[in-house]
């Protein structure tokens, strides 16, 4: 059954009819600080890219409440299959800005050893955060497969697959939802409808009435939620997570939000986003709305907001400096993480690579002896 009425908890002035959550003051402020950290990370990464110190980043401005609200509904033992605009999901669960910055610079401390593009994070601790995929929608059936494996093992974990409105046009979306509907897999599908898939507006992305309704074709209930309302997103995702843990199957959630920046740092949104549209959505800024709610609750002041932003900018800037000074991946990393026992032909190639590097004066090659 699809819920077409947009679920909302906090209104534009920060008011709620009644408390819709069980979060403590500390937990609410953690959500707030995480959203601010996402925005600070965005700001620093844009400057790093514009100054040529990193090659690429993905803006998250405007979609922070969807990320953090969803993350707050998950346990650390659950699995996240993120889109590339989900920085807040990792930060909420304790991944540090430094760990993320290592990936932005592709250095030797990066979990992917520099093999991935920037913003393609992957972590196993403190949260199970599967590597972001550049191809659109390919991670959706992967999430279903992982969820089904957990179900077969008798585990009560849940997988969350996050993707944009453009991802619903992918083959992975169809395959993933079809399998999940048949198997009743414990997976939550979170469509972040931020209105734009690069320069393609959502109005040209589908002929259906929104994206939540698409779940009906697969026997999966669909729900629409105000993606700029952190508490509404948490409430909706938490209900879907609990339903999945009970063995009742998947849910498709459409979080209606807005990307208040480019698709990436390589994109100029002013060429296709109407100025009036951006101004209209800027008035719905999810951080500003959550600040109004916290202020009404007695938890926030403008002075606190300034201090939290300054602390976040300092933390991210320090992380960037440390990551930039971290040495690059070692030469032998080219040959690792594929085979348990290195085949003879790769061992021979490794030795030749190290001998060449040694002759060329590459200090990382040591005495020219291949170490694996």
Task: Say if strands 187-193 and 159-164 run parallel, antiparallel, or are unpaired.
Answer: parallel
Q: Is the distance from CB of 323 to CB of 102 less than 8 angstroms?
A: yes
Give the containing element (helix H, strand E) for 189. strand 187-193
State how far the Cα of 26 lies from the Cα of 33, in Å rounded to an integer.
10
In whole angstroms, what is the distance from residue 290 CA to residue 27 CA? 13
φ, ψ of residue 151 in degrees (nearest 5)? -65, -45
The whole-number pLDDT of residue 1 equals: 64
Q: Which of 160, 200, 190, 181 is nearest to 254 (CA)?
A: 190
Q: What is the DSSP letter of 131?
A: P
pTM, two decimals, is: 0.95
CATH architecture of 3-325: 3-Layer(aba) Sandwich (3.40)
pLDDT (tens digit, 9 = 90+) per residue, 188-234? Answer: 999 999 999 999 999 999 999 999 999 999 999 999 999 999 999 99
Strands 128-129 and 159-164: unpaired
Q: Three-state DSSP class for 225?
A: strand
Can you give the pLDDT at residue 99? 98
Q: CA angle, 355 as apex, 349 and 356 as ends, to 5°?
A: 90
Q: Which two tokens stand for residue 202?
A: 């959502």
pLDDT of residue 3: 63
Longest dimension (CA), the chain: 72
Q: Residue 2: which pLDDT band, with cuts at 50, 70 and 90? A: low
Distance, in Å, from the CA atom of 42 to the CA atom of 45, rounded to the nearest integer, reads 5
The number of beta carbons lying within 10 Å of the beta carbon of residue 244 is 27
Query: What percentage of residues in the chain have a pLDDT greater than 70?
Result: 99
Strands 222-226 vs 251-256: parallel, antiparallel or unpaired: parallel
Which stretches within 72-138 are classed as H helix? 87-92, 97-105
Q: Where are the alpha helices (DSSP H) in 194-341?
A: 230-245, 275-282, 286-296, 302-325
Q: Catalytic one among 120, 139, 263, 289?
A: 263
Q: Is 263 a catalytic residue?
A: yes
Residue 368 pLDDT grade (very low, low, confident, very high; cuts 50, 70, 90): confident
Task: Please provide the average confidence, as pLDDT, over all residues in the chain.
Answer: 95
Cα–Cα distance, 15 to 290 (Å, whole number):
10
Q: How many helices (H) and strands (E) does the chain have?
A: 11, 9
Quick check: 226 and 256 in contact, CB under 8 A?
A: yes
Phi, psi of 215 (to 5 degrees): -65, -30
Domain ranges of the chain: 3-325, 331-365
Rounded to an integer, what distance in angstroms lies between the CA atom of residue 198 and that of residue 178?
Answer: 26
Q: Is 280 a catalytic residue?
A: no
- In angstroms, the CA 226 to CA 231 distance is 9
Task: Compute the average pLDDT of residues 324-343.
Answer: 93
Q: Catalytic residue at 272?
A: yes
Exactly one of 272, 307, 339, 359 is catalytic; name it.
Answer: 272
Catalytic residue among 93, 120, 259, 289: 259
CA dist 4 and 211 (Å) reads 10
How many angstroms separate the CA atoms of 203 and 197, rounded?
10
pLDDT for 298-313, tens place per residue?
Answer: 999 999 999 999 999 9
> Once rounded to an integer, what is the mean pLDDT over residues 350-354?
92
Which of 81, 128, 80, 100 lies closest to 37, judged by CA? 100
- pLDDT-derived band of residue 20, with 50, 70 and 90 as boundaries? confident
């Amino acid at each position: 059954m699809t819920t077409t009425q947009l679920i909302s908890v906090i209104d534009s002035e920060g008011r709620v009819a009644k408390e819709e959550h069980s979060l403590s003051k500390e937990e609410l402020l953690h959500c707030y600080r995480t959203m601010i950290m996402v925005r600070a990370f965005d700001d620093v990464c844009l400057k790093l890219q514009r100054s040529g110190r990193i090659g690429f980043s993905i803006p998250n401005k405007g979609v922070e409440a969807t990320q953090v609200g969803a993350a707050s509904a998950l346990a650390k033992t659950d699995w996240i299959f993120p889109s590339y605009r989900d920085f807040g999901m990792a930060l909420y669960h304790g991944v540090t800005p430094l760990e993320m910055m290592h990936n932005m610079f592709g250095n030797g401390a990066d979990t992917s050893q520099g093999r991935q593009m920037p913003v393609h994070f992957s972590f196993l601790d403190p949260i199970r955060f599967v590597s972001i995929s550049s191809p659109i929608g390919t991670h959706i059936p992967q999430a279903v497969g992982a969820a089904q494996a957990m179900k077969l093992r008798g585990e009560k974990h849940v997988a969350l697959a996050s993707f944009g409105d453009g991802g619903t046009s992918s083959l992975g979306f169809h395959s993933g939802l079809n399998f999940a509907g048949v198997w009743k897999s414990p997976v939550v599908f979170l469509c972040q409808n931020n209105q734009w898939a690069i320069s393609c507006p959502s109005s040209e992305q589908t002929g259906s009435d929104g994206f939540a309704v698409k779940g009906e074709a697969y026997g999966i209930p669909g729900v629409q939620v105000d993606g700029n309302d952190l508490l509404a997103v948490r409430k909706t995702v938490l209900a879907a997570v609990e339903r999945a843990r009970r063995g009742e199957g998947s849910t498709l959630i459409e979080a209606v939000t807005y990307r208040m920046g480019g698709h990436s740092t390589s994109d100029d949104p002013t060429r296709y986003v109407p100025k009036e549209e951006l101004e209209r959505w800027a008035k719905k800024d999810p951080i500003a709305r959550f600040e109004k709610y916290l202020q009404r609750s007695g938890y926030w002041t403008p002075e606190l907001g300034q201090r939290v932003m300054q602390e976040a900018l300092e933390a991210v800037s320090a992380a960037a400096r440390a990551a930039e000074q971290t040495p690059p991946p070692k030469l032998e990393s080219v040959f690792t993480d594929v085979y348990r026992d290195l085949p003879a032909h790769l061992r021979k190639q490794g030795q030749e690579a190290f001998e060449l590097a040694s002759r060329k004066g590459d200090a990382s090659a040591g005495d020219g002896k291949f170490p694996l």
